[in-house]
Structure 1
Amino acid sequence: MCLFGCISFIPHNASVYYLLAGFTLRGLLGVGASAVFVSAQTYITYTFPQSSVFMLSLLGAVGGLGSISGPAIGGGLYALSGFWLIFVTVGLATLSFGILMVFLLPSYDSKKSMQPRDHKCMDVSEAVSSPAQLQRSHLYARIICDRRMILGLLVTMFSAAAWHAFDPILEPELRKTYDLPKSKTSLIFLLIPTAFVIMTPIAGKIMDKLKYLDGLGMTALGFAILATAFLFAGPAPFIPIDKRLWLLLVCLTVSGLANSWIFVPPQEMTFNIKRLNLSSDEEKIAAKGFMSGCWNACYASGVCLGMVMSGSIQEVTNWSWAMMFYFVGSVGFIIIILLVKITELKSWQNLFN
């Protein structure tokens, strides 16, 4: 990150070197960010097995808090000394926190379950066909084939897409339709992350305390609220309502609140390893690490798809049809959730019959 801030010192006439350095360093930033998210989620779910959903919701709320404070901090640093100061400051802060975590966080180096195996006398064929490797491959296959985990990952992808759907199209809509200046537009962008930060810990606490609540039902409720918000945010072309700024602001706020309800329950569906019946700590950490990697890959894909799809749809049609796309997607997920629930109920009936 510190090096990325220094690319501003590359002469602009050396465009090839500038682009090469920019793409390379951005790629490294992506790798580092992925490693941080995966390790953080794995560590949290392993350390707090009884309240992992609530702790993951706090992690998501902190991310939303960063979305709120990041632009303000970055703008202030840019005003002080330009582009380079932003990334150098954040990079040094990240490095300092990383070193601090090494000493503050407890280690889980168990001699029985976490000790590295000695493969010095094992050739490639033996390593691939060893019982430990086959057992690990079987574990990953069980995780990938789990119906609830697949649904949780798909919902996570849509949640990220719905969050970032407004990024490329909201500012032009506010400027062209409502003639708002940039100062007010930037404040409106804070509505979704602010509502998300407030509601996400509440949703996580409810999921942890009320164990009898089904994550599928809560997710379906979140999609119903989100669909309603997208329906009136346009508003939909078939609804005879004129565009109103207050209605759009309410819909943006509601979408931030609803997004927390399709963000927290899918994490419970994804990271719940009780149904895998794992015995050793090594298997549990491996499973949670694999799940965390899948979750972050889906979330990152959703961020990309959300911006690309909304921008492409508005380019071809308009704002209202872009909102209709996410309304249809929300309704589609409600139908999928109902089908999964019906399938599970039939499985239970067959089990008792």
Structure 2
Amino acid sequence: MGSQSGATPFTREQWAVLCVIGSVHFGCAICVSLQAPFYPAEAERKGVSASEYGLVFGIFELVSFLSCPILGKYLDFIGPKFMLNSGIFIASTCSILFGLLDLVTGHIDFITLSFTIRIVEALGTSAATTAAFAITASVFPDSVATTFAALETFYGLGYIVGPMIGGMLFSLGGYILPFVSMGTFLMLDAIFIYFILPPLGNEPGQLRPEVKLLAMFKIPDVGLDSFCIAATAVSMGFYSATLEPHLRKFCLTPVVTGVMFVISGTLYAVSAPLVGRLCDLEVQPKKVMVAGSVCIVTSYFLVGPLPGLPLPTTMWMCVLGLIVHGIGTASILVPCFIDIIRSSVASGFPDDMTTYGMVAGLWASFFSLGAFVGPSVGGVLYDTIGFRSGTLFPVGMHLLVFVSVTCFVCLYNGPGPAVPVPVANPGDAECCIQRGRNLPQDIPPLLPSKCSDSITTGYGSFGTPVPFLTAIS
């Protein structure tokens, strides 16, 4: 995945993959977000408290945090195409079942089934998105950041329009129609992908030399990037839990309040492809992340404003702050993905689907962790110390991101110290620990591409040449 000075045209197969994977992200995002306008009211009619149905929303992110690394580790063994289709099928089935909860009458039965379906849906969605990210990294070797950002745009658009579509369908057909409609859409998408997407990676059940997730996490770049991902998700989650009560002083209509929530997501969807293109054009990802952390701190400075500042809360400052926040989140989440891949391969991980799956799982896991912590802690802080003082939590995290990444950029040179990568077969150790180079040459390409002719065009070609690592005896 060498650096490219100019745009390289995609092959027909690559365009097909981008379209089908984009549809997966769009559909999954809608299914995750469409219940927000009407599920709480339905739950309250069943006698469910706000704390209980709040946990129904939060459990999704917690399950994703726990499951994504495991799914990513075994993605090459399961098979990326099989995991993608299976995840979509599970998520679509759970969406339909969630719509049938309207038929459940008892409080205990309703909340128990809500938790059960939501947990299984989280497993399916995690499998689908983890496989999708890994497929993207392998099929688009010379433009990973750009295509990853494009998928994030699909997901962002789906997450934005999900509540709107859910509300419209709810008004047309009641509680069941939104879930059945989107579940059916995802199920048809899975059938379409089965016939359109070409075989990728190993055959299911065929295992390459195993590498350890812990070894990847010990790479300094990877640990730092993971913290940045979680901190950014915390920032997004804090707004989702506290922005609406913060804006009540302006006496906004529900429509205008909804538009305020859309601002940040829209700017994220628009700016993510631009950020991805910058990273593919040899701009160092960590420098983009520094700019992103500044944007997020600036956002809270405007929306709060920060405690201690003699500034009133004004509408125009809130709008400007949310615009800056959307740009900042894109400037961190997109570079982190490509930086983890580059750092992992530069530190000895094989430049193949096994590594891509682990990276995808790691990224999704820490994003889910932040998405769980952000609204949970944000709600508590809002109730105890208010919005302005509560913003010190996400601001403090991103000041730490700014300082850490800046120091890393200024003081740290090269792709990283020698990090031994454990492998299942000691006989394969020598070729699997050479910073991504000199890997077995009989691994077939995942898709024929105009962009790449050999393994030396992979991420291992980034950075400076380094000596061989020492094999684990």
TM superposition score category, shorter chain reference = 0.7 to 0.9
Aligned partners of 2:295 and 2:324 also within 8 Å = yes
CA distance in 2, matches of 1:170, 1:323: 11
Tell me the CA shift for residue 115 of structure 1.
7.4
Whether the 8 Å CA contact 2:99–2:179 is kept in 1: the answer is: yes
Match of 1:296 in 2: 364
Task: Please give the residue correspondences for 1:49-198 in structure 2 after superposition, counting only pairs within 5 Å.
Answer: 49-108=141-200, 114=203, 116-117=205-206, 135-137=209-211, 139-175=212-248, 177-198=249-270
Q: Show CA shifts across 1:78-100 (max 9, x none).
A: 00111111111111101110111
Question: For the residues of structure 2 that align with 1:234 and 1:314, how far apart are their CA atoms?
Answer: 12
Matched, 1:240 2:310: yes
Q: CA deviation at 1:2?
A: 0.6
User: What are the superposed Cα offsets for residues 272-311 of structure 1, whole Å, 9 maximum, x if unpaired?
Assistant: 24314555xxx71111111111111111111111111211
**Which of 36, 53, 75 is equivalent to 2:128?**
36
Cα distance in 2 for partners of 1:247, 1:347 equals 41
Instruction: Give the aligned partner of residue 112 of structure 2.
Output: 20
| Structure 1 stretch displaced more, 21-30 or 334-343 | 334-343
Answer yes or no: is the 8 Å Cα contact 1:46–1:285 preserved in 2: yes
Indicate the larger mover: 139-148 or 179-188.
139-148
Structure 2 match to 1:267: 337
Check the 8 A contact 1:65/1:197 in 2, yes or no. Answer: yes
| Aligned amino acid, residue 94 of structure 1 | L
Distance 1:242 1:235 in 2: 7
What's the C-alpha RMSD, in Å, of the aligned pairs?
2.1
1:319 equivalenced with 2:411 (yes/no): no
Describe the shift of the 1:109–1:286 C-alpha distance in structure 2 as closer, same or farther (beyond 3 A): closer
Query: How far 1:258 moved relative to its partner?
Result: 1.3
Write out per-residue CA displacement over residues 2-57 of structure 1, whole angstroms, 9 at most, x where no aligned residue.
1111011112xx22221221111011110111011101001110111111111111
Q: Distance in 2 between matches of 1:203 and 1:45?
A: 16
- Residue 222 (structure 1) aligned to one of 280, 292, 303: 292
Find the partner of 1:286 among 354, 372, 397. Answer: 354
Amino acid at match of 2:325: S
TM-score w.r.t. structure 2 length? 0.65
In 1, the alpha carbon distance for the partners of 2:114 and 2:188 equals 24
Q: C-alpha distance in 2, partners of 1:263/1:117?
A: 32
Post-superposition offset of 1:71: 1.2
- Counterparts of 1:109 and 1:205, CA distance in 2: 26
Q: CA deviation at 1:336?
A: 1.1
Alignment deviations for residues 313-334 of structure 1 (CA, whole Å, 9 cap, x no partner): 1111111112222222211111
Decide whether the 8 Å contact of 1:234 with 1:320 is kept in 2. Answer: yes
Of stretches 22-31 and 265-274 in structure 1, the one that deviates more from structure 2 is 265-274
Distance 1:49 1:153 in 2: 22
Change over 3 Å in CA distance of 1:4–1:307 after alignment to 2: same
Counterpart position of 1:3: 97
Residues 235 and 374 in structure 2, CA contact (< 8 A), matched pair in contact too: yes
Counterpart AA for 2:140: F
2-side partners of 1:195 and 1:245: how far apart? 18
How far did residue 243 of structure 1 move?
1.5
**CA distance in structure 2 between the partners assigned to 1:181 and 1:170 by the alignment:** 14
Which residue pairs with 1:129 in the alignment? none
115 and 101 in structure 1: CA distance in 2 versus 1, 3 angstrom threshold: closer
Which protein is richer in helix relative to its size?
Answer: 1
Letter paired with 1:241: L
Q: In 1, are the aligned partners of 2:289 and 2:335 still within 8 Å (CA)?
A: yes
CA contact (8 A) 1:3 1:25 kept: yes
Give structure 1 regions of 4+ aligned residues with deviation exceeding 3 angstroms.
114-118, 139-142, 276-279, 345-348
Matching residue's letter, 1:264: V
Conserved? CA contact 2:272–2:330, under 8 Å:
yes
| Secondary structure at the counterpart of residue 413 of structure 2 | helix
Q: Is the 8 A contact 1:219 1:261 kept in 2?
A: yes
Determine helix, strand or coil for the equivalent of 1:191.
helix
Instruction: Give the aligned partner of residue 257 of structure 1.
Output: 327
Query: Partner amino acid for 1:274?
Result: V
Between 157-166 and 44-53, the greater mean CA deviation after superposition? 157-166
Paired residue type of 1:70:
G
Q: Percent same amino acid among aligned pairs? A: 21
Which residue number corresponds to residue 201 of structure 1? 273
Bigger shift: residues 230-239 or 27-36: 230-239
Q: Provide closer, same or farther for how the CA distance between residues 9 and 207 of structure 1 changes in structure 2, counting only shifts above 3 A.
A: same
Gaps of 5+ in 2: 1-94, 417-463, 467-473
Query: Cα–Cα, structure 1 residues 109 and 284, in superposed 2: closer, same or farther, change >3 Å?
Result: closer
